[in-house]
Every structure is written in structure tokens, then in C-alpha cells.
Amino acid sequence: MHAAFVVFVKEMTDNLRDRRSITMAMVYPLIGPILLSLLLGFVGTTLRIDPDQRLTIAIANDSAAPELVAYFARSGVVIRSLRDDPVAAVQRGQVPFVVVVRERSATDKRLRVQLIADPGRFSTLVPVSRTLDLLRGYGRDTTLATLRAAGLDERAVEPIVIEHENVGRTLSLAALFLNMMAPFLMFTIFIGGVYLALDSTSGERERGSMEPLLINPVSRLEVLLGKLGAAYLFTLIAVAVQVVAFAVMLELTPPQGIGLVDPPGAAHMALVFLLCLPLALFAVTLQVLIAVMTRSLKEAQTYLGLLPLIPSIPGMILVFAPLKTQGLLAAIPTFGQTLLIGQIIRGDGVNALHVLVSIAATLIATAALLAWTARLFEREQAVFAN
Amino acid sequence: MLEVRDLHKSFRGVHAVRGVSFQARDGEVTGLIGPNGAGKTTILRMLYTVLRPDSGTMLIDGVDAASDRRAAQRRIGVLPDVRGLYPRLTAREHVRYFGRLHGMRGAELESRIDRLIALLDMREFADRKSKGFSRGQQMKVALARALVHEPHNVMLDEPTNGLDVATSRAVRQLIGDMRAAQRCVLFSSHIMQEVAALCDRIVILAQGRVVLAGTPDELRRHTGLDDLEEVFMAATGTAAERIAAPDSTLAAAED
């Protein structure tokens, strides 16, 4: 195994001097967490329901409904009387939305109001929804007052009372973001060491340095293991950078905005990293297999550029419809990890047997890939580009 | 000592090497010469174990290179056709990498590297990364790493290809020194003057066969030509068929 170590040390020295390898391992993994924290920050501040912040409602023709204005005022709303054209005012962005009080018709004495809003504007979602609640509340209060005045029971007109209880550890919006971590990690695992895996095999063959290297009295399996080891270490660095970045991001994100009840802690993150260890080995072995199998560096680059998408897609779909690990799903490399990592991060807990099955199955698949790669590496085509 | 017997090799139906036999002895410089496409590089690549022959025997100091690849590899030092350096490693790191792969380490390895750097006049660029090296500098690095383990048998594929006059001379001097040290040197070239100046024995190849082999004097006597370049032209050209079968002292083409 001495030769494998010599090759490993050479590849590490060589690639630590290469900006492309370093970028892949240390900068790319930060993109996911940064993107996610920007999204969380944005959504958190726009959707936050701040109990101290008073709602402002612009009302056009407010003089036609003094009882509604009084109700708003009692509810703590800041009222802004609008004299301009309400549609134009919303379109210009002068006010986020307007409640327009219509003139009552001669036949129907009910109060008619029109809500003018631009639903494309994300930031108006919360105030519009609060305004609708207030309008409904006003309608309900008025009805109840009328019923009580007539001596009737309110239960006659309100046959259903809805109570809502969330049993998840996180609210839905937070869960949505947490679910994105697993596909991001899959992407990182398949991209972190890819440059090294390619450059040290297909690239080395294309530059003509594979030939002198393989004239040395070492087995080709040892050469292969040295190169795999270096690509593996770079991948692990990438995964570690991303896991730490996610942990920092969760630490810094204001939890109330997205309803993050119980963010995953260090122990959760450590378990996620543990699940990534065998998968990263599977990923680099697959990358080296493809590099050795293909005829040119360009061909290998084409396949390896698309490869990270494949394990990420199931996770992206599961963001919206998370699955719980069942039976042998854990045994599928990349998919098993996606499910298990999702569960760990959401705080749902995992079955230890599922973790073991995932690790064992991934290692067995890796051994099979390695055997295949080693066989291909004995071919003459492994030495010469043409 | 290198010995090749009845070597054959085809690539996708093209019979590139057709029953080649020759010997390269210790204390001698043997030149493989032939026009482009004659099979020189293919024969060397089989001998230095990166290509497998379809049939035939290759012995390196008596070790069968096909069945005991690693034992054969320990006995050879090779300068391949493509030098193949790592742009981000320094000249010294190249030599050290190959020394370590040969199981050398520590002070012994470092002093060996220093001696090679002095011998090949590499001090000026020894600790510079190889990106941007001239062809001469690249060849010196590749040669130093081929010789780091002091191999008994040395194979050089077109060692002076693309080099300036001074560097070519230095390489010829080095080859002469290795012969004096009783090593076995086999090198390929397509320049007859270079082969004539250096070689104790010459193996002339054409179309995957040995068409003529022997000492320069034997070749002259056999063809009746004084100039070795004329010998080469006669042997590799249309005249090849007209040359009578060489006597038993000469390794010959086996049709």
C-alpha cells in the first residue's frame, strides 16, 4: 500500500496548487447555503408576523362606511384615506393595496367593499390576508350583533368551529427550506472531488503522463487507490464545508419568520456527515470509472457535468412531498441518503437499521464499481488517449 | 540485457509489429532505427510493459516482462516518446515522485536527486514548476526521473527529438557514460547520423519487421555501401527485398 500512499500524496500536492480543484471543493459548496440563507432571510422578513407592528390600510371612499373605519380603528389599524384613483395608486406602488368602499345601491343595503391588490408582490401577502381576516371579522361581528338583538343563538349560523394544531417539529415553510439541504448535499458530493477525479485519470492520460507513471513497478490498483483517495478527501472537504455552512446559516437565520421551531443541532449535522462518508466514496469511484471508461477528457467531462443532477433531482421533487424511509429504499445509494438526511434535518428522527442498511449497501455498490474500474484500468486504453 | 523473440502486435486489424527479434547487450548501445510508422515506439512500449504483445517473448535480464511485469519494471528506466510532465510540480518533485514509487526514500533518494540535477545541468530550474519548460528542460526532467532508481537497462524513445545542439550533445555524452558503466542502452531514432555516432549495434526496422541488424561495420560489409545513411535507405526502401538473408550473427527479419 506504500505506492498508493505515494500517489495520494502527489495528487494532493498537485491539486492543492490548482485553483480549479480548490474552487470545486471549497467555494462551490458555499453556494447552496448562501442561496438558501438569502431566501430564508427574504422570506423571513416579508412573511414575518410582528405583533408589535401595526397594519396600515388605505381606504378609498371611507366616508361611505364609518362603522367599518371605526372597527378597523378598534382593531389597531392605521387608516390612510386615499383620494387618488385606487387602481393607479396600487399600480404605481404608492400603496400596497386599497380597500374601496362602494356606494350602497338602493335595493341592497349591504356594505360592499372591493380589495385592490397586486398578487405578484410577495410582500403584500401578509397584510392583505390580515385585512381579509379583519373584513370577515367585521362581517361576523355584525351578524352576531344582529342575531343577539333578535334573541337568536349564534350556533344557528356558525355550524363549524375550526381548530388547527401542527404536529410537525417545524412549520411548513421552514420544512420546505430544510428539505432542500439533502439535494444540495447530493450535488456537492458529486461535484466536490470531480475535478481531481477527472484530471488525475483522464487528464493524466491525455497529457501523456499516465504512460511514464505506469512504467513504475507498482500495481495499477495501487495507483488507482491513491488517486481515488485524493479525490475522496477533496469531496469530504467539500461536504464538510457545506455541512458547516448550513449549520452556521441555521444559527444566523431568525427562526420566527419561517416558523423554524427546532433547528437541527450539531449532533444532527454530524449524523448527516456520517451518512455522506460512504456516499462520497461511491461518488468518486463512479467518477473515476466514467473517466477511465471514456475515450477522452472531453467525453468524460460531458458525462460528469450531468452526473450531479441525477442524484439531486429526486431530492428536489421530495422538497414538496417528503417521503419517510421505508424498507429497502434506504439501500439505494443517493436516494436512501436523501430520504434519511431529510428526516434528520427535519428532526423526525431515523431508524438506526435504515442508517446501517444505507451505509452497507453503498459500500457494497462502491466495491463493485471499484472492481470494474480496476479491471478497465488494466487495459491498454487506460494508458493511451487514442 | 534485453531480448525480444518473435514479437507480434496488431491494432484493430493493422499488423504493426510482425515477428521482431533482436538483442540489446550490456555495455553496448543498441539503436532502433526506421522510418515513421516502422513500429519503433510500439516495440519499445511492449518492452517497457505498457502494451501487451499478441505473441512472442520479451526478456529483461532474463525476466519475462509479460508474466512478471513488476520485476521487469524494476530493471528498466524509460524515457517515453511523450515526456508527460505535471505542470504544477517542480522538476525536483517529478524525480522524487518516481524515486518513491521505486521504493526509495530519505537521504539516499535526496542525494540521488541532487546528483542527477548536477549531472543533467538542471540546477537553474530544479525548483521551478514545470509549466512553461522548454523541450530541452522537459526532456531532462523526464530523463532524470527515468534514471532515479539507477536502472540497469535504459530505453530512450527519440531522446534528442526537438532538442538544440548543446542539449543533444549532453544526451549523447550521457548515453556514452551509461555504456561505459556496462549498462544496456536501447534507443530509437529516425536520424541515421545520430545512430551511427552512438551505436554499437543497429536494428533497422521497416513496416513492423527487422530488415537488417548488426554492428555498423557488419551493415556496411553486408550491403556493400560505405555511408550508413545509404545503408538505411537501401534497407528500408524498395531495396529491402534485394538484400540477401543476413548470416547467423545478425538478427534478422523473420518472414
CATH of the domain at A100: 3.40.190
Together in a domain, A77 and A12:
no
Mean of the pLDDT values across residues B212-237? 89
Instruction: Say whether pLDDT at A171 is over 90.
Output: no
Among the ranges given (A210-219, A267-276, A310-319), the one the predictor scored with the smallest mean pLDDT:
A310-319
> Does A20 contact B at CB distance below 8 Å?
no
Q: Dihedral through CA A35, CA A36, CA A40, CA A42, nearest 10?
A: 10
Instruction: Say whether pLDDT at B158 is over 50.
Output: yes
A215 and B85 within 8 Å at the Cβ level: the answer is no
How large a percentage of chain B has pLDDT more than 90? Answer: 70
Q: How confident is the model at residue A198 (pLDDT cuts 50, 70, 90)?
A: very high
A380 and B51 within 8 Å at the Cβ level: the answer is yes
Q: What are the distances in angstroms from CA A116 to CA A72, A79, A91, B67, B173?
A: 17, 16, 10, 86, 93
**Packing angle, helices B106-119 and B135-147, rounded to 10:** 140
Together in a domain, A218 and A266:
yes
A212 and B142 within 8 Å at the Cβ level: the answer is yes
Q: How confident is the model at residue A49 (pLDDT cuts 50, 70, 90)?
A: low
pLDDT tens-digit profile of B27-56?
999 999 998 889 999 999 999 999 999 999
> Does A214 contact B at CB distance below 8 Å?
yes
As beta bridge partners, residue A376 has none
What's the structural domain count of chain A? 2
B101 and A3 within 8 Å at the Cβ level: the answer is yes
Together in a domain, A200 and A68:
no
Q: Pick the residue from chain B with its C-alpha nearest to A10.
A: B97
Does A124 fall in a domain? yes
Does A267 fall in a domain? yes
Rg of chain B over CA atoms, in angstroms? 18
Higher-confidence position of A161 and A229 = A229
Together in a domain, A376 and A342:
yes
Per-residue DSSP letter, A53:
S
Does A165 fall in a domain? no
> Which residue in the set A210, A212, A380 is minimally distant from B78, CB to CB?
A212
Give the per-residue pLDDT at B248. Answer: 38
Q: Which one, of A239, A207, A249, lies nearest residue B142 by Cα? A: A207
CA B185 to chain A, closest CA, distance in angstroms equals 17
Mean of the pLDDT values across residues B148-155? 96
B98 and A212 within 8 Å at the Cβ level: the answer is yes
Give the per-residue pLDDT at B249. Answer: 39
A214 and B82 within 8 Å at the Cβ level: the answer is no
Together in a domain, A322 and A179:
yes
B76 and A215 within 8 Å at the Cβ level: the answer is yes
Give the per-residue pLDDT at A256. Answer: 54
Among the ranges given (A42-56, A260-274, B103-117, B210-224), the one the predictor scored with the smallest mean pLDDT:
A42-56
Give the per-residue pLDDT at B197. Answer: 85
A212 and B80 within 8 Å at the Cβ level: the answer is yes
**Residues in chain A within 8 Å Cβ distance of B76:** 215
> Considering Cα of B229, then B230, then B236, then B237, what sign does the dihedral take?
positive
Number of H helices, E strands in chain B: 9, 10
Instruction: Say whether pLDDT at A330 is over 70.
Output: yes
Together in a domain, A364 and A265:
yes
**Distance in angstroms (rounded) separating the CA atoms of residues B15 and B38:** 11
> Which residue in the set B74, B84, B100 is minimally distant from A208, CB to CB?
B84
Instruction: Say whether pLDDT at A170 is over 70.
Output: no
Together in a domain, A11 and A120:
no
* A57: Cβ contacts below 8 Å, ≥ 6 apart: A72, A77, A78, A79, A80, A97, A99, A127, A131, A134
Give the per-residue pLDDT at A266. Answer: 85
Does A163 fall in a domain? no
Q: SS3 of B56, please?
A: strand
Give the per-residue pLDDT at B48. Answer: 95
Are B98 and A216 in contact, with CB atoms under 8 Å apart? yes
> Does A19 contact B at CB distance below 8 Å?
no
> Considering Cα of A70, then A71, then A74, then A79, what sign does the dihedral take?
negative
Among the ranges given (A281-285, B13-17, B56-60), the one the predictor scored with the smallest mean pLDDT:
B13-17
Does A164 fall in a domain? no
Q: Pick the residue from chain A with its C-alpha nearest to B68.
A: A217
**Residues in chain A within 8 Å Cβ distance of B49:** 215
> Does A224 contact B at CB distance below 8 Å?
no
Give the per-residue pLDDT at A46. Answer: 65
**Distance in angstroms (rounded) separating the CA atoms of residues A327 and A83:** 65
**Residues in chain B within 8 Å Cβ distance of A18:** 88
Together in a domain, A261 and A238:
yes
Q: Pick the residue from chain A with its C-alpha nearest to B98.
A: A216
B50 and A380 within 8 Å at the Cβ level: the answer is yes
Give the per-residue pLDDT at A11. Answer: 97
Give the per-residue pLDDT at A223. Answer: 97
Q: How confident is the model at residue A164 (pLDDT cuts 50, 70, 90)?
A: low
Give the per-residue pLDDT at A252. Answer: 77
Cα-Cα end-to-end distance for chain A: 30
Give the per-residue pLDDT at A52. Answer: 62
CA atoms within 13 A on the CB side of A303: 17
Task: Determine the residue among B10, B17, B86 to mutate to test chain A binding: the one whose Cβ has the most chain A Cβ atoms within 10 Å.
Answer: B86
> Which residue in the set A14, A214, A218 is minimally distant from B50, CB to CB?
A214
**Distance in angstroms (rounded) separating the CA atoms of residues A325 and B128:** 54
CA A4 to chain B, closest CA, distance in angstroms equals 9
Question: What was the ipTM of the complex prediction?
Answer: 0.90
Mean of the pLDDT values across residues A92-97? 86
Mean of the pLDDT values across residues A196-218? 94
Does A50 fall in a domain? no
Give the per-residue pLDDT at A91. Answer: 86
Boundaries of domain holding A141: 56-156
A216 and B102 within 8 Å at the Cβ level: the answer is yes
**Domain end: A131, A156, A181, which one?**
A156
Does A342 fall in a domain? yes
Among the ranges given (A86-95, A272-281, B207-216), the one the predictor scored with the smallest mean pLDDT:
A86-95
B158-172 burial: b if 16+ Cβ within 10 Å, else e = bbbeebeeebbebbb
A20-42 burial: b if 16+ Cβ within 10 Å, else e = ebeebbbebbbebbeebbeebbe
Give the per-residue pLDDT at A327. Answer: 73
Does A118 fall in a domain? yes
CA B70 to chain A, closest CA, distance in angstroms equals 5
How large a percentage of chain B has pLDDT more than 70? Answer: 93
Q: What are the distances in angstroms from CA A372 to CA A228, A306, A367, A368?
A: 14, 21, 9, 6
Together in a domain, A286 and A366:
yes
Q: What are the distances in angstroms from CA B112 to CA A126, B74, B79, B139, B149?
A: 76, 17, 18, 18, 8
**Domain end: A156, A186, A220, which one?**
A156
Mean of the pLDDT values across residues A315-338? 82
Give the per-residue pLDDT at A238. Answer: 95
pLDDT tens-digit profile of A125-153?
778 888 888 898 888 888 888 888 888 77
Among the ranges given (A31-35, A184-188, B32-36, B190-194), the one the predictor scored with the smallest mean pLDDT:
B190-194
**Domain end: A128, A156, A184, which one?**
A156
Give the per-residue pLDDT at B206. Answer: 92
Give the per-residue pLDDT at B134. Answer: 93
Together in a domain, A38 and A63:
no
Mean of the pLDDT values across residues A47-61? 75
Together in a domain, A223 and A356:
yes
Together in a domain, A67 and A37:
no
Instruction: Say whether pLDDT at B154 is over 90.
Output: yes
Instruction: Say whether pLDDT at A247 is over 70.
Output: yes
Q: How confident is the model at residue A259 (pLDDT cuts 50, 70, 90)?
A: low
**Residues in chain B within 8 Å Cβ distance of A21:** none
Q: Pick the residue from chain A with its C-alpha nearest to B53.
A: A380
B48 and A215 within 8 Å at the Cβ level: the answer is yes
Which class for B131: exposed (0-12), middle (13-18), buried (19 or more C-beta within 10 A)? exposed
Higher-confidence position of A318 and A377 = A377
What is the count of residue pairs from A and B with beta carbons less than 8 Å apart? Answer: 67
**Residues in chain A within 8 Å Cβ distance of B129:** 17
**Distance in angstroms (rounded) separating the CA atoms of residues A77 and A63:** 16
